[in-house]
Amino acid sequence: GCPVGQPPAPSTATSAAQPFENGAMLWVDGVPGTVYVLYEDGSYQTFPDTYDPNLDPESGGEQPPPDRFAPIRGFGKVWREQPGVRDRLGWATGSETGGSATIQAFLSGRMLAAAPRGDMLTLIFTTDSTSGTWQSLPRAAQ
């Protein structure tokens, strides 16, 4: 669909990404922030970032296998508390990396250029903006 907004211009936000055995997680700052769970089958889910460092533990104390990581903070909270996320993603295969993201909203989805990932994500909504399908596109050289 067409870009949305008044005017329909992209926005920039702080972001973080982390790779997992069966996908990835991407956080984009906002009010509230959003955690995108990108599954390797091309589907995604979004969750509001409800992590509060004053109330929530940074870690759940899980012991990952060798060469794997347990996600922490907001990624860890979603991974531990949202049904099915941990089972579908598996363990993290790398550390969380921060950066920025440029986001353009469309009638039926979003495009995100997430610096920590180094690619352009297209997110197509199903019935609402909390789930759908995603695809990674290479970013053009700057």
Mean pLDDT of the chain: 93
Whether the model clears a pTM of 0.85, i.e. scores above it, the answer is yes
Residue 95 C-alpha from the chain's centroid? 14
Query: What residues have CB less than 8 Å from 45, skipping those under 6 apart?
Result: 36, 37, 39, 82, 85, 130, 131
pLDDT tens digits, residue range 93-138? 999 999 999 999 999 999 999 888 889 999 999 878 899 999 999 8
Phi, psi of 78 (to 5 degrees): -65, -45
Residue 5 in this model has a pLDDT that exceeds 60: yes
In this prediction, residue 141 carries a pLDDT of 57
In this prediction, residue 142 carries a pLDDT of 52
Round to whole Å and give the CA distance between 81 and 86.
Answer: 9
